[in-house]
């Protein structure tokens, strides 16, 4: 692994050298701190951080969490020592240029022939921007998204004062095309949100079919690929790749969101929004007497809802993509192991007498339920496996997550359970670290043994 104890001092030295050309202002007396008080506060900080789950561990297969790549940390810290603000070129010309470069690479990954876009502080804000443009370009029209779409779409429709319409999901958590067709036929919908990689199940909405239906009804298409976007790099229908068809249609979208802070190896917060038509920039027009001086070139703040944003986030992503480019052999090679791990685990569930597979994974998210005959027993056993696997010595712990499902959702997938409760938690694991692949058989065996001891 890239050794940050070697590289971080080089970051400090490089920025020191640059600053030394100007001044040596020293430290103002008001900012001088006592090393001993820093020492004790720092000790307290590092202690207080130890209550985190071990996101870095191959045996942490719970939520969508993992540390950034060391290259991202190095890029971030180096730029942060200067602290550029990518709102305006005055705030950070170098990092603004890096942002435009990485955004162009993301657009190429999705096959967009031209684009306008920028980084954001999160996927939620990136989606907000896309829905804002949806509202401005189709005023008075509704926005439709599937029942499995991220919950923030409904929230942001509320924020924007736009009607949000929920489209039924099919028996794999994907948008149901017949249900979409019916809603589109009302003529109320201006934009359809297709999710590539739902947050819960990693399901891929059938984008080619959605595009065809939306176009036939004059609706726009927004693709929320916050989680799944980088899987475009391995969308080759190969044994350890993912389905090509949904990703093959991203070039036809009006807007796309992807979260580099999920599968792009970045620290929070780094989302991105891309628009196929650069003309949408007109919806962002604003006047500010205190920015945009040094250049007539596009300032990123002129096309974004947010004002200040970390130039360091752009530097981090830029440095990462220089060494792990957006190619099948670059970042793609870091995605395949998790995909393989998810498929292996799914097979283990299918052969298991302790668990049943909930549904096959389309990306790297695995869902499974303890073999029980009633909703309440599945719920209790899932909760017990979740709790017990996370206990014990640090070197033994396994961290998974739970996921709430309804009797109808279970039945649609062939799980016939006694309906003695209106909902049940099942188990859900995100295999998003390449290191987890090798750990899957051991994780599975341990979870099986726990599941068997639960009444």
What is the closest distance, in whole angstroms, from the C-beta atom of residue 127 to ligand PLP in the complex?
A: 6
Q: Where on the phi/psi map is residue 228: left (φ > 0), alpha (ψ -120 to 50), or beta?
A: alpha
Kindly tell me which of 197 and 407 has the beta carbon lying closer to ligand PLP: 197
Contact positions vs ligand PLP (CB under 6 A) = 122-124, 127, 150, 152, 195, 199, 224, 226-227, 259, 271
Q: Beta strand pairing status for 164-167 and 142-146?
A: parallel
Kindly tell me which of 122 and 169 has the beta carbon lying closer to ligand PLP: 122
**CB-closest chain residue to ligand PLP:** 123
What is the closest distance, in whole angstroms, from the C-beta atom of residue 146 to ligand PLP in the complex?
A: 11
Kindly tell me which of 232 and 450 has the beta carbon lying closer to ligand PLP: 232
What is the closest distance, in whole angstroms, from the C-beta atom of residue 150 to ligand PLP in the complex?
A: 3
What is the closest distance, in whole angstroms, from the C-beta atom of residue 268 to ligand PLP in the complex?
A: 8
What is the closest distance, in whole angstroms, from the C-beta atom of residue 296 to ligand PLP in the complex?
A: 33
Kindly tell me which of 88 and 270 has the beta carbon lying closer to ligand PLP: 270
Q: Beta strand pairing status for 255-258 and 220-225?
A: parallel
Kindly tell me which of 137 and 198 has the beta carbon lying closer to ligand PLP: 198
Distance of alpha carbon 308 from alpha carbon 121, whole angstroms: 10
**Helix 440-453 vs helix 331-351: angle between axes, to the nearest 10 degrees?**
30
What is the closest distance, in whole angstroms, from the C-beta atom of residue 63 to ligand PLP in the complex?
A: 10
Contact 291, 90 (CB under 8 A): yes
Residue 305, classified by CB atoms within 10 Å of its CB into exposed (0-12), middle (13-18) or buried (19+), is middle
DSSP summary character for residue 74: H
Residues in the chain: 455
Distance of alpha carbon 352 from alpha carbon 450, whole angstroms: 13
Residues 6+ apart with CB under 8 A from 75: 312, 315, 316, 317, 318, 319, 320
Q: Which tokens is 287 given? A: 């006047």
Kindly tell me which of 247 and 292 has the beta carbon lying closer to ligand PLP: 247
Residue 193: strand pairing partners: 222
Kindly tell me which of 199 and 409 has the beta carbon lying closer to ligand PLP: 199
What is the closest distance, in whole angstroms, from the C-beta atom of residue 280 to ligand PLP in the complex?
A: 20
3-state secondary structure of 209: helix
Q: Which tokens is 10 given? A: 């080089």
Kindly tell me which of 62 and 370 has the beta carbon lying closer to ligand PLP: 62
Q: Is the CA virtual torsion 211, 215, 217, 219 positive or negative?
A: positive
Kindly tell me which of 99 and 259 has the beta carbon lying closer to ligand PLP: 259
What is the closest distance, in whole angstroms, from the C-beta atom of residue 443 to ligand PLP in the complex?
A: 23
Kindly tell me which of 95 and 124 has the beta carbon lying closer to ligand PLP: 124
Q: Beta strand pairing status for 271-275 and 116-120?
A: antiparallel
Q: In what order do the strands lie in the sheet with 424-430?
A: 355-359, 365-370, 424-430, 401-405
Contact 382, 426 (CB under 8 A): yes
What is the closest distance, in whole angstroms, from the C-beta atom of residue 248 to ligand PLP in the complex?
A: 19
Distance of alpha carbon 90 from alpha carbon 84, whole angstroms: 9
Kindly tell me which of 135 and 150 has the beta carbon lying closer to ligand PLP: 150
What is the closest distance, in whole angstroms, from the C-beta atom of residue 1 to ligand PLP in the complex?
A: 25
What is the closest distance, in whole angstroms, from the C-beta atom of residue 226 to ligand PLP in the complex?
A: 4
Contact 334, 105 (CB under 8 A): no
Instruction: Report in angstroms the alpha-carbon separations of 166 from 148, 375, 406.
Output: 9, 26, 17
Kindly tell me which of 133 and 447 has the beta carbon lying closer to ligand PLP: 133
Task: Report the greatest alpha carbon distance in the chain.
Answer: 74
What is the closest distance, in whole angstroms, from the C-beta atom of residue 123 to ligand PLP in the complex?
A: 2
Q: Is the CA virtual torsion 441, 445, 446, 447 positive or negative?
A: positive
């Amino acid at each position: 692994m890239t050794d940050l104890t070697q590289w971080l001092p080089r970051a400090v030295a490089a920025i020191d050298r640059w600053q030394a050309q100007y001044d040596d202002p020293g430290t103002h007396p008001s900012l001088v701190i006592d090393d001993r008080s820093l020492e004790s506060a720092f000790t307290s900080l590092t202690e207080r951080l130890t209550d985190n789950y071990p996101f870095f561990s191959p045996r942490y297969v719970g939520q969508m969490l993992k540390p950034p790549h060391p290259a991202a940390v190095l890029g971030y810290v180096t730029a942060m020592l200067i602290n550029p603000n990518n709102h305006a070129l005055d705030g950070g010309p170098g990092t603004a240029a890096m942002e435009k470069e990485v955004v162009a690479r993301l657009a190429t990954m999705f096959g967009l022939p031209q684009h306008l876009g920028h980084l954001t502080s999160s996927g939620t804000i990136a989606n907000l921007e896309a829905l804002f443009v949806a509202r401005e370009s189709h005023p008075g029209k509704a926005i439709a998204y599937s029942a499995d779409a991220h919950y923030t779409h409904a929230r942001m429709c509320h924020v924007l004062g736009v009607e949000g319409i929920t489209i039924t999901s099919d028996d794999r958590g994907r948008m149901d095309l017949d249900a979409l067709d019916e809603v589109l036929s009302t003529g109320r919908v201006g934009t359809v949100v297709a999710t590539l990689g739902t947050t819960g199940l990693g399901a891929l909405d059938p984008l080619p079919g959605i595009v065809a239906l939306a176009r036939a009804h004059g609706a726009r298409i927004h693709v929320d690929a916050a989680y799944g976007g980088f899987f475009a790099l391995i969308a080759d229908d190969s044994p350890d790749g993912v389905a090509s068809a949904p990703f093959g249609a991203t070039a036809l979208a009006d807007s796309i969101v992807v979260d580099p802070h999920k599968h792009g190896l970045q620290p929070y917060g780094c989302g991105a929004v891309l628009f196929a038509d650069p003309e949408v920039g007109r919806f962002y027009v604003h006047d500010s007497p205190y920015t945009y001086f040094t250049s007539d070139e596009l300032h990123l703040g002129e096309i974004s809802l947010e004002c200040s944003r970390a130039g360091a986030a752009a530097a981090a992503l830029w440095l990462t993509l220089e060494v792990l480019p957006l190619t099948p052999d670059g970042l793609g090679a870091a995605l395949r192991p998790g995909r393989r791990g998810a498929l292996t685990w799914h097979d283990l569930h299918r052969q298991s007498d302790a668990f049943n597979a909930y549904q096959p994974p389309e990306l790297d998210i695995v869902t499974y339920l303890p073999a029980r005959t009633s909703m309440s027993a599945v719920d209790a056993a899932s909760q017990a496996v979740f709790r017990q696997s996370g206990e014990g010595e640090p070197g033994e712990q396994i961290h998974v997550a739970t996921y709430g499902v309804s009797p109808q959702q279970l039945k649609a997938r062939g799980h016939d359970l006694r309906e003695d409760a209106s909902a049940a938690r099942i188990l859900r694991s995100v295999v998003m670290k390449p290191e987890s692949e090798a750990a899957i058989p051991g994780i599975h065996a341990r979870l099986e043994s726990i599941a068997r001891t639960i009444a």
